Structure 1
Amino acid sequence: MANIKLKGSGYGQFGGFTPYGNVTVLAFALATTALGAAAESNSTAAVKNGDVIELGILPTGMRLEDAQVIITTAMTAATTGKLGFVYEDGVDDAAVPQDAAYFINGGSLATAARLRASGTKLVVLPKPAKLVLTVGGADNAKASDIKVLVYGELTGPK
């Protein structure tokens, strides 16, 4: 029986000489008020079906590997969400197209739960991207508490 050894992945570490690697977790928080508006945002209106909430920035060179949406206090019944990314400059990239449902497509935000990413591809962001949650299904009319964790490897800019 042969022992088969794969060649190296070709991924170099970025940002230091630590044996622990360069995997990171970026945390984002979304809380809504009793009237359903996103707290600490530029809007006082309740979050509506079709609204896109910009949760934060994903850096250039991040290889997107996984995400979790932790719903501690749910939104209004029937509210769903897509979690993905769009480029900060608004210009698509042919090799890595922006995808507003990259991590999750149609996950329920109406029940306390932990949602995991359901995608099947890995991408490395060629430029900074906004992490976006697109609300669907229903308008939100209540307080909620949602945390989003994005896992990836910081490979650095090319």
Structure 2
Amino acid sequence: MATIKRTASRYGQFGGLSPYGNATVLTFLLETNPTGQVIDSDATAALAIGDVIDLGELPEGMRLDDAQVLITTPMTASVTGKLGFKYSDGVDVEAVPQDDDYFLAAASLATAGRKRADGSTLVTLPKPARLILTIGGAANAKSSDIKITVTGELTGPK
């Protein structure tokens, strides 16, 4: 019986052969005030259906492994959200297209708890992207406190 050893066991690892790896967790905060307006944003109105919240940057070369949405104080009843990404420069890439519901599609933001990504593919970002949350279901008209974590491996720019 032969012993077969794969030669590409460290494929794509960025930053050397650290025994600790290149996994990272990025945290994004989303809070709204009592009228439903996003705190620390350029918004002057409450969140409405179809609004897209730019939560922050996802770096070039990050493999998107997982996301969690931790809802401490929920939004108004019936508010849902799609969680995904768009490229910082707005230009799509055929191999890894922008996807506004890459992590979650129509997840309830109106119930306290934890939501996990429901996608079934892994992608590595070929260029910097923005994490986006698109509001659906209903407008938000109350205070809320939501934290989002994105887990992945930093494989470095290609």
TM-score by structure 1 length? 0.95
Tell me the residue number matched to 1:52.
52
Distance 2:57 2:16 in 1: 22
Partner of residue 153, structure 2:
153
Deviation of residue 15 (structure 1)?
2.5
Tell whether 2:37 aligns with 1:30: no
Unaligned runs of 5+ in 1: none
What amino acid is the match of 2:88? E
Structure-to-structure mapping, 1:1-150, within 5 angstroms: 6-150=6-150
Question: Structure 2 stretches of 5 or more lacking a match?
Answer: none
User: Identity of counterpart residues, as a percentage?
Assistant: 65
Instruction: Report the secondary structure of 1:96's partner residue.
Output: coil
1:16-55 Cα offsets, whole Å, 9 max, x none, are: 4421100000000000000000000001210001100000
Of 126-135 and 13-22, more deviation after overlay is shown by: 13-22
Aligned residues: 158
Displacement of 1:156 in angstroms is: 0.2
Separation in 2 of the partners of 1:15 and 1:27? 22
- RMSD across aligned positions (CA): 1.5
Which deviates more from structure 2 when the two are superposed, residues 76-85 or residues 17-26?
17-26
Rounded to whole Å, the distance in 2 between the matches of 1:47 and 1:2 is 61
Q: AA paired with 2:100?
A: A
What is the deviation of 1:152?
A: 0.3
- Alpha-carbon distance, 1:113 to partner: 1.1
